[in-house]
Amino acid sequence: MESAEIARRFLRFFEERGHTVVPSASLIAEDPTLLLVNAGMVPFKPYFLGQRKPPYPRATSAQKVIRTNDIDEVGKTTRHASFFQMLGNFSFGDYFKDQAIPYAWELLTKPESEGGFGFPEDRLWATVYHDDDEAADIWHKKVGVPLERIQRRGMVDNFWSMGVPGPCGPCTEIYYDRGPEYGRDGGPVADENRYLEVWNNVFMQFERGEGPVKEGYEILGELPAKSVDTGMGLERMAAILQGVDNIYEIDTTYKILDRAAELTRSRYGRDPRADVSLRVVADHMRAGVMLVGDGVLPSNEGRGYVLRRMLRRAIRNLRLLGAGDERYMHELTATTIEVMSAQYSELKADAANIHTVIDAEEASFLGTLRTGTAIFDVAVEEAKRKGQGVLPGAQAFQLHDTYGFPIDLTLEMAAEQGLQVDEEGFRRLMKEQRDRAKADAAAKKTGNADISVFGQILEKAGKVDFLGYDQTDAESEVIGILVEGGSVPAAGAGTTVEVVLARTPFYAEGGGQLADQGVIRTSGAEVEVVDVQQPVSGVIVHRGKVRSGELRVGDAAHAEIDVERRRAISRSHTATHLVHRGFRNALGESAAQAGSENSPGRFRFDFTAAGAVPPTVLRDVEDEVNAVLINDLRVNAFITSQAEARAMGALALFGEKYGDEVRIVEVGDYSRELCGGTHVASSGQLGLIKVMSESSIGAGVRRVDALVGLDAFRFLARESVLVSQLSEQLKARREELPERIEGIVTRLRSAEKELERLRSAQVLAVAGELATGARDVHGVSLVVHRVPDGTSADDLRKLALDVRGRFPADRPAVVVITGVPADRPVVVATANEPARDRGLKAGALVGVAAKALGGGGGGKDDIAQGGGTRPEAIPDALRAVEETVTRHLS
């Protein structure tokens, strides 16, 4: 039974029993305490806590999940995985143990021909929390499981929470006996390899506080209602139903693993080390594709770092399998999309975008590997020169942290050089970094209280009506006031507040569009609104300060936005849609929006692209979009179903979340996108769009900055004035300016080169004079000299070597030259071989001079360079060198 069919059967079973089928939420968690969705119940957490009223009494879902706690163990075993799917059925105060347990048993044991999974009843075991007599009785008396196949376990095994403050409760788990060939008899308590967990029924009764992940945390009290959260791992169920040993051999994983083996000419099951690498590639490709599909982009922090780490581990393991610098991620991405699209059809629609992001990360990391290898070689050379057999942990950590060089690669390459790595030092530095990150994350956790107040407002007053598509002001009512995160009945003048209105024309920041600003007036107060947010779906919060009077809950209010600001932002938002369409027309459908910011008069547009966009393409897109403005196309917005929107070809923003009903914004027949923002009535209202710049902001992502409307016109007006001034000064027509300026720049560069040549010749001309005038110090010729300011550091070096070369080969000579190339002094010291034989080292002499100059430096024994910050100390520096040489020789 294929994975997609397992998911379909599960959802259909519970749908037939009154459960609402809820599509998988994005892997990007809305919960502020979580980086990524790590359990099937995460999207329903506010319902369990009573923070929001559930829209349905019971639900079922197949939820995408990412867990990174054991990422370093992925591949080493066949049990660990970073990406998996959790099938679940949920009750929000509707039913409890007496229905949840029989549901699970019925679906598992029902014959496949009747829509079940066909498990033999005598091979299923149950575990319950040690004091949960109710669950044990249901298993035995209602379901009929013999007492000897019902085992009791403690908090670690049969009490569930997310590991952070939130809902929790006892659970009962169902295990499948795979047979004596997999381990010893005795049930799950004896051997969890033989007895494999297939289902977990969690009975959400309590709320936990801070504390250890598994046990020992405080139980704060009971939840508002007794609820059910169940989970069945799809991959584990697939392994059993497909008759394979582990999750890496099921349909959706093995096809990726097999393709990786084919590309690298390896074979799974032959070499344990290769097997580890193949499992890493298979798991991380699934995780990477799903994360990119949900809009996560590689970065060095947060969830972007999770993605980057996984993709780079996959690339690294392909290299271990013999890929070298070959690029195989495109092929593996295609295979992953193919096998996962049976459950997530949107992956095919987003395929071009996913390929662009992952291909760019592969190219970037292969470059990193080359850079890291060069730095590693230097570290090895230094270690060998010092006679060290161990590469310091600090250097391994720097390679990992600064250059993204994996520690396992450092270990492998060090072994090839006959060196070990101070792994303990490396691990210590890594732990210190993780501890800092955890402390920072803990400080940033906002917990459940942050949204509970808004949830209460939503439950009491209902969803806030947004009127801003048609109105710029509205009569309303104050239904909530928050000060420093807490609900208050009133707030006086000068207080910073968060105000919730029953209805509002203010647009809350979202979809790249900045929030509206404006004012809220009541009969007794006036509030200046500077920001608007939507912390909970359905609640619009106006942030600002009470200018005068006292604002009270229940007051009638008049809300009025800054109309000119809104119009300017709306022009920018519509312009973003047009530029998005223009880049897709020019570069193909892979040029997908990856972020935007719509501000008054200007906008920023990020999109996926393999490389820099040629200037000619930028001009073409700009011309095409401005032609749309001239045609003054009508802008139309309407609501439809998501399925209908996709059928119409409407663009959904890469990684954006949408409900069943979506809003489409059309600009004539040119552009059609899903969008909840505000827009102009017709394209002609934009006036003009001017692309200012195009640049890279990360692997596979480009950014365009542009002006729109009056801001674009004013910029071009200033440019026109500037061109007129240049034309007048250069006595050339406008069209002749590029050629004329190019000629001037060419002549100027030639003149600068000639001046540099003459300056260098002038500096070097004194070489003979300096050698002749060398001071004799106990048989050593010593030259200390300051060149004119402005002499380049390169010329200082050439002069020092030239002077040194003018002494006989058997005559000890030391030459120290200093000067101020720019604003900081530089010193160069050289010592020939006879001088070095007498203990005079260039590096040591540079150190003496540089210290006097307020800086530092170093180099080899024969030539070294340093510098400082105090040009006025040059005489002292040269004197210090003379004294050091004299003292050493005497």
293 vs 355: CA distance, rounded Å: 10
Q: Are residues 518 and 600 in the same domain?
A: no
Averaged over 101-114, what is the pLDDT? 94
484 vs 478: CA distance, rounded Å: 18
Residues 424, 426, 432, 437, CA torsion sign: negative
- Residue 556's beta-bridge partner residues? 477
Q: Is the residue at 730 inside a domain?
A: no
Listed in sequence order, the DSSP H helices in 164-267 are 234-241, 251-264
Burial readout 736-747 (b: 16 or more C-beta within 10 A, e: otherwise) = eeeeeeeeeeee
CATH number, domain containing residue 678: 3.30.980.10
Do 133 and 147 meet the contact criterion of CB atoms below 8 Å apart?
A: no
Judge whether 171 is annotated as a binding position.
no
Highest mean pLDDT among 282-286, 325-329, 507-511: 282-286
Residue of higher predicted confidence among 325 and 100: 100
Interior angle at CA 333, CA 328 and CA 337, nearest 5: 155
What separation, in Å, do the N-terminal and C-terminal C-alpha atoms of the chain show? Answer: 91
Q: Are residues 96 and 123 in the same domain?
A: yes
404, pLDDT greater than 80: no
Q: Are residues 378 and 405 in the same domain?
A: no
85 vs 233: CA distance, rounded Å: 6
Per-residue pLDDT tens digits for 509-524: 988 899 999 999 999 9
Q: Are residues 274 and 182 in the same domain?
A: no
Q: Is the residue at 733 inside a domain?
A: no
pLDDT of residue 655: 52
Q: Are residues 343 and 198 in the same domain?
A: no
Provide the mean pLDDT of the chain: 87
Q: Are residues 173 and 53 in the same domain?
A: yes
**How is residue 313 written in tokens?**
């581990």
445, pLDDT greater than 70: no
**252-266, 533-547, 679-693: least confident range:** 533-547
92, pLDDT greater than 50: yes
Q: Which of 97, 329, 115, 117 is nearest to 205 (CA)?
A: 97
Q: Which domain holds residue 774?
A: 766-889
Q: Are residues 706 and 593 in the same domain?
A: yes
**213-222, 278-287, 812-821: least confident range:** 213-222
CATH number, domain containing residue 211: 3.30.930.10
Q: Are residues 400 and 376 in the same domain?
A: no
CATH number, domain containing residue 549: 2.40.30.130
Q: Are residues 130 and 163 in the same domain?
A: yes
Q: Are residues 25 and 154 in the same domain?
A: yes
Averaged over 644-648, what is the pLDDT? 81
Q: Which residue has the tokens 């501890």?
A: 435
pLDDT of residue 439: 57
Residue of higher predicted confidence among 52 and 663: 663
DSSP 566-589: HHHHHHHHHHHHHHHHHHHHHH-T
Domain stop point among 339, 357, 382? 382
Q: Is the residue at 616 inside a domain?
A: yes
Length of the chain counted residue by residue:
890
Q: Is the residue at 665 inside a domain?
A: yes
Per-residue pLDDT tens digits for 575-615: 999 999 999 999 887 788 888 899 999 999 988 887 888 99
Tell me how many domains the chain contains. 6
Q: Which residue has the tokens 């070959």?
A: 326
Beta carbons within 8 Å of 660's beta carbon, 6+ residues apart: 641, 642
Domain stop point among 382, 399, 429? 382
Q: Is the residue at 29 inside a domain?
A: yes
Per-residue pLDDT tens digits for 348-382: 888 888 998 899 888 888 877 777 777 788 788 88
CATH number, domain containing residue 778: 3.10.310.40
Per-residue pLDDT tens digits for 446-490: 333 356 677 677 767 778 999 999 999 999 999 999 988 788 899
443, pLDDT greater than 50: no
Q: Tell me the HSE value of 698 on the side-chain side, using a 13 A CA sphere.
A: 19
Do 864 and 843 meet the contact criterion of CB atoms below 8 Å apart?
A: yes
Domain stop point among 366, 382, 398? 382
Q: Please report, to the nearest 10 degrees, the dihedral formed by the alpha carbons of residues 433, 436, 439, 440 taken in order.
A: -110
Do 525 and 555 meet the contact criterion of CB atoms below 8 Å apart?
A: yes
pLDDT of residue 659: 64
Highest mean pLDDT among 125-139, 384-398, 743-757: 125-139
339, pLDDT greater than 60: yes
654, pLDDT greater than 60: no
pLDDT of residue 29: 78
Beta strands in 686-774 (DSSP E): 689-698, 701-708
- Residue 138's beta-bridge partner residues? none
pLDDT of residue 765: 81
Per-residue pLDDT tens digits for 532-566: 998 877 889 999 999 999 999 999 999 999 999 99
Q: Are residues 165 and 243 in the same domain?
A: yes
How far from 46 is each of 38, 453, 534, CA to CA, in Å? Answer: 15, 12, 16
Interior angle at CA 641, CA 640 and CA 644, nearest 5: 90
Judge whether 675 is annotated as a binding position.
yes
Q: Is the residue at 356 inside a domain?
A: yes
Judge whether 573 is annotated as a binding position.
yes
Instruction: For residue 653, name the pLDDT band (cuts at 50, 70, 90).
Output: low
**How is residue 129 written in tokens?**
């929390």
Q: Are residues 103 and 208 in the same domain?
A: yes
pLDDT of residue 26: 87
Interior angle at CA 43, CA 313 and CA 208, nearest 5: 95
Instruction: For residue 437, name the pLDDT band (cuts at 50, 70, 90).
Output: low
Q: Is the residue at 577 inside a domain?
A: yes
pLDDT of residue 410: 80
Give the global pTM: 0.66
Do 509 and 599 meet the contact criterion of CB atoms below 8 Å apart?
A: no
Q: Is the residue at 669 inside a domain?
A: yes
Q: Tell me the HSE value of 107 on the side-chain side, using a 13 A CA sphere.
A: 26
pLDDT of residue 422: 86
829, pLDDT greater than 50: yes
Judge whether 355 is annotated as a binding position.
no
Do 66 and 38 meet the contact criterion of CB atoms below 8 Å apart?
A: yes
